[in-house]
Amino acid sequence: MASESEDRQRAIWENREAEAGAGQAPSEASGDPRLQAVNRQQMAWRAVDVEQLITEDHPARAIWHLVGKLDLSAFYKGIGAVEGEAGRPALDPQLLISLWIFGYSEGVSSAREIARLCEFDPAYQWLTGLQPVNYHSLSDFRVGHREALDKLFTEVLGLLSAEGLVSLQRVMHDGTKIKACAGADTFRRKEKIRAHLEMARQQVREMGDSQNEELSQRVAKARQRAAHERQERLERAEKELQELRARKSTAEAQREARVSETDPEARIMKQSGGGYAPAYNVQISTDAARGIIVGVGLSQSAGDWGQLDGAMDRIQEKLGRLPEQVVVDGGFTSREAILDMDRRGVDFIGAIADTTVRAASQFARRGVEAAFRPEAFAYHSESDTYTCPAGKVLHYERKHRDIGVTDYYYRASATDCGSCEFRKNCCHANTNAGRSVVRAEEAPAVAAFRAKMATEEAKQIYRQRGAVAEFPNAWIKTKIGLRQFRLRGLAKVTMETMWACLTYNIQQWIRLRWRELSMPRTV
Ligand code: SF4
């Protein structure tokens, strides 16, 4: 069918021919503009110089070049197609890795979208050499090589280290919450999950009798697959809930425990922008020298407490040594972490909670006036006693050992406090016992840490933490768009994070090395 512009063009020509036939010159005032017709009815062959599809300094070349330098043998395991035998050759892991890295760097994290871009986008076409790539191959590859991906991350780190981009003199570590691929309304208690699981099993059993269905084979298979996947997800949810309940200390907490039926391994976590959502806690260690990610891990724990030790293990495993110094915020800083870092020989910079402030608020709540708080009690080391503001003696009572600290308890006699004129200002809640005070004796490493953190030098280092540690977190969320995982389950979201961090590191290499070095661009 002729297009509107073709009709229009034909009308103009017919008009001109009529004018010419009448021996009249087309007047300038009455002539319509002559336009080039768009012909979509034609078949055309175009010569494409694949090498010229992208510029010499295009990032796709850099990614292909870098990936080509790595040992990808771990990805070759499991490839069925072999030389000398019949069958379709497998896609080269160098290509699939490059496509994923380039896709992530462009904010594309969908296998379908990358496959679509391979059909027309010059950069993707250059990478594939104009060959189509099936999205199933891309999707399966992303999650099918966990160990190989981990090794690849280590390989890239080794390369960056060899090029002087990783020093490990100072590492900033931080955690960030990334939303899971599940809604908050998918969290259920034990009874509901069991009921849904029974329904899913029933559905799968009924689907076994395909004679009852007047469906095409393809639709029937798709439905069966969906029903099986739902059953498997609910079975995982039931198992995950059992483990979660086993960790709860009270019967009430066990009853209230819930997991998501969509992603059972996700946990409800507080989000940085406010509110709560199912999420994973992504732990990232960044080398302060050039901003390279030197360690990445995932946690189901909503808090960062206790995450630092694992982060150090990952750096040690990846780079064969520990950082000289690690800097973290208050969420990671505990006496336990201080002792761990001391044991490992890592200089620790952090923000430990000011226990004095916390104690002051607790005393205020209990109605203890400022003049009767612990600092108003005088300690006498020679007799190991305290004297209260009223001049009464508090004797040693007991001690309690905790990690990095021993608390010594001292108490005044009930008689002294009972008859004291300051009782209502000091310990009005005590009816049967005298006032007590606690003397905390911290481990030498903890005391040394507090002294260090009081220095201007340590405070200055700590002030640099935010800019370095939060940059990769922000980059991964804004550039790559990883604000919410596409995949489900701890193992798969770990891989999704690894791809994102790998892309971040390669992007840093492109910025710091590829663009500044005059590398040969022929690959
Ligand atoms: S209440 Fe007891 S501890 Fe407090 S000032 Fe009086 S005697 Fe001392």
Does 426 sit in the ligand 1 pocket, CB within 6 Å? yes
Q: Which pTM value belongs to this model?
A: 0.82
Per-residue burial over 405-432, b = 16 or more CB atoms within 10 Å of its CB, e = otherwise: eeebebbbeeebbeebebbeebbeebee
Q: Are 283 and 299 in contact (CB under 8 A)?
A: yes
Q: Which of 175, 172, 179 is nearest to 293 (CA)?
A: 172
Lowest mean pLDDT among 306-320, 353-367, 369-383, 404-418: 353-367
Q: Which pLDDT belongs to residue 19?
A: 55
Average predicted confidence (pLDDT) for the chain: 88
Contacts of 344 (CB under 8 A, 6+ apart): 312, 322
Per residue in 256-270, pLDDT (tens digit) is: 888 999 999 999 999
Q: So what's the pLDDT on residue 522? A: 47
pLDDT of residue 352: 84
Is 412's C-beta closer than 6 angstroms to any atom of ligand 1?
yes
Q: Which of 8-12, 320-324, 348-352, 500-504 has the lowest mean pLDDT?
A: 8-12
Closest CA to ligand 1's atom 5: 390
Record the tokens describing residue 521, joined without a space: 């661009």
pLDDT recorded at residue 88: 79
From 420, 424, 425, 437, mutation site for ligand 1 pocket: most ligand atoms within 8 A of C-beta: 420
φ, ψ for residue 492 (rounded to 5)? -75, -40
> Considering the chain, what percentage of its residues have pLDDT values greater than 90?
66
Number of residues assigned to the chain: 523
- pLDDT above 70: residue 517: no
Separation between Cα atoms, residue 317 and residue 299, nearest integer Å: 18
Answer whether 62 contacts ligand 1 (Cβ < 6 A).
no
**Is 304 in contact with 331 (CB distance < 8 Å)?**
yes
Measure the CA–CA gap between 215 and 156, rounded to whole angstroms. 50
Quick check: CB of 414 below 6 Å from ligand 1? no
pLDDT at 72 over 90: yes
Q: Is 389 in the pocket of ligand 1 (CB under 6 A)?
A: yes
Q: What is the mean pLDDT of residues 211-239?
A: 79
What is the whole-number distance in angstroms between the Cα of residue 423 and the centre of ligand 1?
6
Q: How far is the CA of 382 from the centre of ligand 1 (A)?
A: 22
| DSSP-derived pairing of the beta strands 276-287 and 171-179 | antiparallel
Split at pLDDT 50, 70, 90, the class of 196 is: confident
Gap from CA of 389 to ligand 1 centroid (Å): 7
User: What distance in Å separates the CA atoms of residue 292 and residue 501, rounded to the nearest whole number?
Assistant: 9
Q: Assess whether pLDDT exceeds 50 at residue 523.
A: no
HEC profile of 109-137: CCHHHHHHHCCCCHHHHHHHCCCCCCHHH
- pLDDT at 413 > cutoff 80: yes
The DSSP-derived string for 61-95 is: HHHHHHHHTS--HHHHTT----TTS-SPPPPPHHH
